[in-house]
Amino acid sequence: MLIRHRGAEPRVDPSAYVAPNATLVGDVRVGAHARVMYGAVLDAEGAHVEVGAYTIVSEHAVLRATAVTGASVELGDHVFVGPHATVLGASVHRCAYLAANTTVLQLATVGAGACVAVGALVHARSVLRAEFFVPPHTTAVGDPAEVFGPDRADELAAAIAGVDFADAAFGVRAEWTDRISRYREATEVRSAEYAAHADDEVIG
């Protein structure tokens, strides 16, 4: 399904394939020979989503930009985005591999040829150098990224506090320790942003 949003509509190269139940919303650009598979959602909000040539967006993946911080999603050529993976306002360079159930958060950069293995997370503002490997079910945080496993929960919490996720994702600057204020403001920000969908128009 192709949807006009905020006056912008998806553009799909004639050689690309978009599954009939994939959803492309707003300024989404799908490059040559790219494949967007069943159930995937590519939502540009007030920014844009760019899918490079020969890039694969697998079943039920979500690529979402944001109008609030202007964080676009940019996938280079020959990127693989696995089933149920999520990329939010981040940049993934050419030939990178995001396995099933991975997440890349706002303003992060995944370098060329890097691999984010099954169930792993690349946190906001983090930078993976070229060909970096994030092991399964771990979290990469920082610039340059450091990988944290479940046995390092306290260190991970401190590292996440350092990237100021609420600001990167929502433009919210409440104190890290004030979770209730942060989460209240975050939902209000998204509520206002998503209100623009009331004017969406299905175009194909």
Q: Could you state, in order of their start, the residue ranges of all structural domains in the chain?
A: 2-160
Residue 12 has which token pair? 């799909």
Q: For residue 113, what pLDDT is reported?
A: 98
pLDDT over 90 (residue 27): yes
Mean pLDDT of the chain: 95
The 10s digit of each residue's pLDDT in 141-183 is 999 999 999 999 889 988 988 888 888 889 888 887 888 998 9
pLDDT over 90 (residue 69): no
**2-160 placed in CATH 3.50.30.30:** no
The 10s digit of each residue's pLDDT in 115-129 is 999 999 999 999 999
DSSP code at position 129: P
Q: For residue 166, what pLDDT is reported?
A: 87
**What CA–CA distances, in Å, run from 116 to 47, 97, 121, 183?**
25, 6, 8, 27
Q: For residue 11, what pLDDT is reported?
A: 98
Per-residue pLDDT band for 135 (boundaries 50, 70, 90) equals very high
Whether the full predicted model's pTM is greater than 0.85, yes or no, is: yes
- The runs of H, that is alpha helices, within the chain are 153-163, 165-170, 179-194
Q: For residue 175, what pLDDT is reported?
A: 84
Judged on CB neighbours under 10 Å (0-12, 13-18, 19+), 8 is middle
| Residue range 53-80: mean pLDDT, rounded | 96
Q: For residue 148, what pLDDT is reported?
A: 96
Distance CA(181)–CA(162), nearest Å, equals: 18
Q: For residue 162, what pLDDT is reported?
A: 87
